[in-house]
Structure 1
Amino acid sequence: MTDKLKTEGKFTYAEAGEGPEIIILHGLMGALSNFGATFDYFSNNGYKVLIPELPLYSLPLLKTNVKNLADFLKEFLEYKKIDSAILLGNSLGGHIGLYFTKHYQEKVNALVLTGSSGLYEKAMGDSFPKRGNYEYIEQKTKAVFYDPEIGTKEMIDDVFEIVNDRSSVIRTLAIAKSAIRHNMANDLPEMKIPVCLIWGKQDNVTPPEVAIDFQKLLPNSDLFWIDKCGHAAMMERPEEFNKILQNWFTSRKI
Structure 2
Amino acid sequence: MALFPYLDANRQFYLPVGEGHQLYVEESGNPQGSPVVVLHGGPGGGCSPALRRFFDPQKFRMILFDQRGSGQSRPLGSIDNNTLSHLLLDLEKIRQALHIERWMVFGGSWGATLALAYLAAFPQYITAMVLRGIFLCRERDLDWLYTSKGAARLFPEAWQALEQQAPPGSGHLLERYYQGLQGDDAHRYARAWCNWESTLALMPTQPPGAGSDGELCMARQETHYFLAGGFIERPLLEVCAGSQVPVEIVHGRRDFVCPPEQALALHQVLPNSELNWVDRGGHSSMDPGVAQALVNAVTRLDRRAKQ
After TM superposition, the score normalised by the length of structure 2 is: 0.68
The residue that corresponds to 2:86 in the other structure is 68
Q: Which residue of 2 aligns with 1:145?
A: 201
Alignment of 1:229-240 (within 5 A): 229-232=281-284, 234-237=285-288, 239-240=291-292
Structure 2 residue identity aligned to 1:32: C
**Residue 46 of structure 2 aligns with which residue?**
31
How is 1:1-254 mapped onto 2 (pairs within 5 angstroms)?
Answer: 4=9, 6-10=12-16, 11-18=23-30, 19-27=33-41, 28-33=43-48, 36-56=49-69, 58=75, 61=79, 63-118=81-136, 120=138, 122=141, 126=146, 128=174, 131=186, 132-133=188-189, 136-137=192-193, 139-146=195-202, 148-149=203-204, 157=212, 160-162=215-217, 169=220, 171-176=221-226, 177-179=228-230, 181-182=232-233, 183-232=235-284, 234-237=285-288, 239-253=291-305
Q: Which amino acid aligns with 1:199?
A: H
> Does structure 1 retain, via aligned residues, the 8 Å contact 2:12–2:24?
yes
TM-score for both structures, normalised by structure 1: 0.80
Change (3 A) 1:181 1:104: closer
Higher helix share: 1
**Cα gap change, 1:135/1:46 in structure 2, threshold over 3 Å: closer, same or farther?**
closer
Higher Cα radius of gyration: 2
Q: Supply the distance in 1 between the matched residues of 2:276 and 2:138 (Cα, whole angstroms).
A: 19
Unaligned runs of 5+ in 1: none
Q: Which runs of 5+ in 2 are unaligned?
A: 1-5, 17-22, 147-172, 181-185
2-structure distance, mates of 1:189, 1:113: 15
Is the Cα–Cα contact under 8 Å of residues 91 and 123 in structure 1 kept in the other structure? no
Task: Give the alignment's Cα RMSD to 1 decimal.
Answer: 3.1
Alpha carbons 1:226, 1:240 under 8 Å: kept = no
Distance in 2 between the 1:116 and 1:43 partners? 24
Quote the Cα distance in structure 2 between the aligned partners of 1:134 and 1:56.
15
